[in-house]
């Protein structure tokens, strides 16, 4: 199949999908036989890439100023000769012992103010000038050794940035950051943080401490700003590495690997400085608390989070476990066929790579029992290896998918600021707030209607979407309420829920009624009170005739956890509470504004109820819904003149779909009607647009 024009190819050197993973030859330098065997096995597994150097600092520079790069040069050469490209990491994710021994300030300080000892990884201070000097030096040397090698296609910065530092350098930077943010005016900060409460007014920026565990925990604005600062500081550190790399190799793209909705860092701020988004996906598969299909749908949600950060190009699945991991509470094997299905899901959601942690199991230390393509047995004759090699063959058939994009017309707003502010606010019930889980469940509900959904920020552009869903949009940044109104006026369908618009960007409550900043007039409601339900509490919503058109049995739906009492000023009441002292009061409303509709769901409604509301919105917005058998996911990627429909059977039962037309790229079969899917089976159907 010829290449389509105008597609967003990430790596022109790679034909089609990149297939690779973390590779640690530095652990085997005394075993040249193993390194030679690795090349043979990588080719057998259909790998065209390997990620090198992620934790190699002490192999490069075992003593300060003593450098060993020959092993790396040899390795990149050998890989390249065999058609395997290198993703090259900067080694800053873990420090050699000599560095911590000689430069104490490079070690982090924890939230009690205690400095860490040498050990583990990800423990450097983001502000330390010494650490930056040492990193600058080793990265420059790395570049001198292999930086211009034609086999190197991407810089992988550090590894999974995370954590925070409370050292004196970071505290000082925090104070400077605040002074800049509040224009050097401490009264502005005192007002924004409502510090007269408990007599917490500050006289100057130099009095402000971070929220130590044994210190200030009661100012919501401080806690939020500390999290923003940590993102700012980590991004500043990351930019230092990026700037250095861009000076050395201006044309080579850079990435760093993210971890789903990791709470510690607002990835969207970091994403602005990266050329391509990549992430590490390790869901707890085959667990005992939800269906496999749900776990996978939540994984698709996280793919959508990544896709949403750069919607104009594919992203990368930088790490996944070919077998099991070693750090879930229970480490269960991936069932036969699941590796393929899992990898195809990444592609379906917009990734152009399938990569693993790790190529070969380490013999000792912390991750010696973590799954790998090649395990301690050391051969290609294992179930895992065969599954990886089988996938490698299939990925070649999916070459033309590379560069095509998921083009969703529905978006869900999910924000770190909201996650942080909701998590910190005192009230409700900490166990049931569950912001990220709630968003994932809502995403799954829309997915079950056969609709692809992007996950975006409240600051992103809403144009191009027809439906916007904003679960628990507790914190509003300036201008967002106005943009939501404009979206609806121009014909958009908007759905918001309980806990919308309670606070501004500094966590000050809106006065005059929630949802604030003018949203109560958009929805035509004011939320007067919110009730927190115990797990044993029962309530429900009874919907008016004809609202939930899917079936009559959907007229009454369950409510859990949260229920707001709404005062309706100007909206249609779609459903009313069935129990408690607010029985009969409005629970779900809708209002016409301009060409569109603004729907407010004042309670945590059952997902069957939400599904019916979404179906109603999609229908009105003209969004095509696909009828899917239970547990089957469908995602669509489009190139310039072809589209690729991915059907993924997330169950261990056979199933079938009707009305499928086109060529199944995985089998070469032409379909004109029924598509049969085996247990954990998948199909990729290509058709002309």
Residues noted as catalytic: 160, 319
Q: Which of residues 67-106 bind ligand GAL (CB under 6 A)?
A: none
- State the greatest distance between any 2 C-alpha atoms of the chain, in Å, as a whole number: 78
Among 26, 241, 280, 561, binds ligand GAL (CB under 6 A): 280
Kindly tell me which of 279 and 562 has the beta carbon lying closer to ligand GAL: 279
Rounded CA separation 354/340 (Å): 10
Which of 464, 472, 469, 413 is CA-nearest to residue 446? 469
Tokens of 283: 């869901």
338-348 and 383-397 helices, crossing angle to 10°? 30
Q: What SS3 state is found at 430? A: helix
Least gap, CB of 208 to ligand GAL (angstroms): 33
Instruction: Please give the full DSSP string across 482-510, using - where no structure is assigned.
Output: HHHHHHHHTT-EEEEESS-S-B-TTSPBP
Rounded CA separation 656/460 (Å): 38
Q: Which of residues 638-657 bind ligand GAL (CB under 6 A)?
A: none
Kindly tell me which of 20 and 596 has the beta carbon lying closer to ligand GAL: 20
Least gap, CB of 466 to ligand GAL (angstroms): 36
Kindly tell me which of 159 and 520 has the beta carbon lying closer to ligand GAL: 159
Rounded CA separation 628/46 (Å): 32
Least gap, CB of 130 to ligand GAL (angstroms): 25
Residue 282 touching ligand GAL (CB under 6 A)? yes
Least gap, CB of 367 to ligand GAL (angstroms): 6
Residue 132 touching ligand GAL (CB under 6 A)? no
Kindly tell me which of 278 and 438 has the beta carbon lying closer to ligand GAL: 278
Kindly tell me which of 324 and 473 has the beta carbon lying closer to ligand GAL: 324
Among 164, 241, 266, 319, binds ligand GAL (CB under 6 A): 319
Q: Which residue has 């959508």 as its token pair?
A: 304
Residue 369 touching ligand GAL (CB under 6 A)? no
Tokens of 488: 């609806």
Among 159, 278, 606, 649, binds ligand GAL (CB under 6 A): 159
Residue 357 touching ligand GAL (CB under 6 A)? yes
Least gap, CB of 378 to ligand GAL (angstroms): 20
Q: Which residue has 């793919």 as its token pair?
A: 303
CB atoms within 10 A of CB 80: 15
Q: What SS3 state is found at 143? A: helix
Least gap, CB of 157 to ligand GAL (angstroms): 12
Least gap, CB of 254 to ligand GAL (angstroms): 17
Kindly tell me which of 285 and 682 has the beta carbon lying closer to ligand GAL: 285
Least gap, CB of 260 to ligand GAL (angstroms): 10
Burial class from Cβ neighbours inside 10 Å (0-12, 13-18, 19+) for residue 76 reads: buried
Under 8 Å CB-to-CB from 23, ≥6 apart: which residues? Answer: 38, 50, 51, 52, 358, 359, 360
Rounded CA separation 643/476 (Å): 37
Kindly tell me which of 370 and 604 has the beta carbon lying closer to ligand GAL: 370
Residue 481 touching ligand GAL (CB under 6 A)? no
Instruction: Please give the full DSSP string across 368-429, using - where no structure is assigned.
Output: TTS--SB-TT-SS-SHHHHHHHHHHHHHHHTGGGTT-EE--SEEEE--HHHHHHHHHSSSS-
Under 8 Å CB-to-CB from 623, ≥6 apart: which residues? Answer: 409, 410, 451, 466, 467
Least gap, CB of 343 to ligand GAL (angstroms): 16
Tokens of 667: 């089998």
Residue 91 near residue 118 (C-beta atoms within 8 A): no
Residue 370 touching ligand GAL (CB under 6 A)? yes
Kindly tell me which of 298 and 642 has the beta carbon lying closer to ligand GAL: 298
Q: How many residues bind ligand GAL (CB under 6 A)?
A: 9
Which residue, judged by CB position, is nearest to ligand GAL in the bound state?
A: 357
Rounded CA separation 655/650 (Å): 10
Kindly tell me which of 67 and 282 has the beta carbon lying closer to ligand GAL: 282
Residue 339 touching ligand GAL (CB under 6 A)? no
88: which strand partners?
52, 155
Q: Which of residues 418-447 bind ligand GAL (CB under 6 A)?
A: none
Which DSSP state fits 17? S
Residue 234 near residue 270 (C-beta atoms within 8 A): yes
Among 316, 325, 341, 372, binds ligand GAL (CB under 6 A): 325
Which of 637, 648, 649 is CA-nearest to residue 687? 637
Residue 444 near residue 469 (C-beta atoms within 8 A): no
Among 26, 61, 160, 266, binds ligand GAL (CB under 6 A): 160
Q: Write out the residues near ligand GAL by the rule CB under 6 A.
A: 159-160, 280, 282, 319, 325, 357, 367, 370
């Amino acid at each position: 199949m010829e290449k389509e024009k105008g597609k967003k190819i990430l790596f022109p050197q790679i034909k089609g999908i990149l297939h690779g993973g973390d590779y640690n030859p530095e652990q085997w330098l005394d075993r040249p036989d193993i390194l030679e065997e690795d090349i043979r096995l990588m080719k057998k597994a259909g790998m065209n890439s390997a990620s090198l150097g992620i934790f190699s600092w002490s192999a490069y520079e075992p003593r300060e100023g003593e450098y060993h790069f020959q092993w790396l040069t040899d390795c990149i050469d050998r890989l390249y000769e065999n058609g395997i490209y290198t993703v090259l990491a900067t080694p800053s994710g873990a420090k050699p012992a000599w560095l911590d021994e000689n430069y104490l300030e490079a070690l982090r300080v924890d939230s009690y103010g205690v400095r860490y000892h040498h050990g583990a990884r990800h423990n450097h201070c983001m502000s330390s000038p010494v650490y930056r000097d040492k990193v600058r030096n080793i990265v420059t040397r790395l570049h001198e050794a292999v930086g211009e090698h034609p086999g190197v296609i991407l810089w992988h910065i550090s590894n999974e940035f995370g954590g925070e530092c409370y050292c004196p350098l970071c505290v000082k930077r925090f104070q400077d950051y605040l002074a800049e943010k509040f224009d050097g005016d401490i009264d502005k900060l005192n007002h924004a943080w409502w510090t007269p409460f408990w007599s917490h007014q500050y006289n100057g920026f130099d009095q402000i401490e971070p929220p130590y565990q044994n210190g200030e925990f009661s100012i919501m604005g401080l806690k939020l700003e500390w999290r923003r600062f940590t993102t700012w500081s980590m991004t500043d550190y990351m930019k230092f590495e990026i700037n250095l790399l861009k000076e050395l190799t201006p044309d080579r793209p850079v990435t760093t690997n993210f971890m789903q909705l990791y709470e510690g860092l607002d990835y969207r701020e970091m994403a602005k400085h990266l050329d391509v988004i990549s992430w590490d996906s390790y869901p707890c598969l085959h667990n005992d608390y939800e269906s496999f299909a749900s776990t996978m749908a939540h994984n698709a949600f996280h793919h959508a989070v990544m896709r949403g950060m750069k919607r104009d190009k594919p992203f990368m699945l930088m790490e996944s476990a070919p077998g099991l991991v070693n750090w879930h509470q229970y480490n269960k094997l991936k069932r036969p066929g699941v590796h393929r299905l899992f990898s195809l899901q990444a592609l379906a959601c917009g990734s152009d790579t399938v990569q693993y942690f790790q190529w070969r199991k380490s013999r000792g230390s912390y991750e010696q029992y973590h799954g790998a393509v090649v395990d301690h047995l050391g051969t290609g004759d294992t179930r895992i290896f065969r599954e990886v090699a089988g996938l490698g063959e299939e990925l070649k058939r999916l070459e033309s998918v590379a560069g095509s994009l998921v083009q969703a017309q529905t978006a869900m707003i999910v924000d770190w600021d909201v996650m942080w502010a909701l998590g910190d606010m005192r009230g409700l019930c900490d166990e049931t707030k569950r912001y990220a889980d709630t968003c994932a469940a809502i995403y799954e509900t829309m997915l079950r209607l056969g609709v692809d959904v992007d996950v975006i920020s409240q600051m992103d552009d809403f144009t191009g979407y027809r439906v916007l869903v904003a679960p628990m949009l507790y914190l509003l940044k300036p201008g967002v309420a106005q943009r939501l109104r404009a979206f609806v006026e121009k014909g958009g369908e908007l759905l918001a829920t309980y806990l919308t618009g309670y606070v501004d960007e500094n966590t000050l409550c809106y006065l005059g009624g929630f949802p604030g900043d003018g949203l109560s007039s958009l929805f035509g409601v004011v939320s007067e009170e919110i009730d927190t339900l115990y797990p044993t509490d029962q309530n429900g919503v009874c919907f008016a005739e004809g609202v939930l058109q899917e079936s009559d049995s959907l007229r009454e739906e369950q409510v859990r956890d949260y229920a707001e009492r709404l005062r309706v000023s100007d909206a249609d009441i779609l459903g009313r509470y069935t129990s408690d002292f607010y029985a009969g009061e409005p629970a779900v409303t809708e209002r016409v504004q301009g060409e569109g509709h603004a729907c407010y769901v004042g309670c945590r409604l059952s997902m069957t109820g939400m599904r019916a509301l979404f179906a109603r919105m999609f229908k009105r917005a003209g969004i095509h819904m696909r009828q899917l058998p239970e547990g089957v996911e469908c995602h669509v990627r489009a190139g310039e003149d072809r589209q690729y429909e991915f059907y993924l059977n997330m169950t261990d039962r056979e199933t079938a779909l009707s009305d499928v037309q086109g060529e199944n790229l995985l089998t070469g079969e032409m379909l004109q009607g029924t598509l049969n899917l085996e247990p954990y089976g998948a199909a990729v159907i290509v058709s002309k647009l």
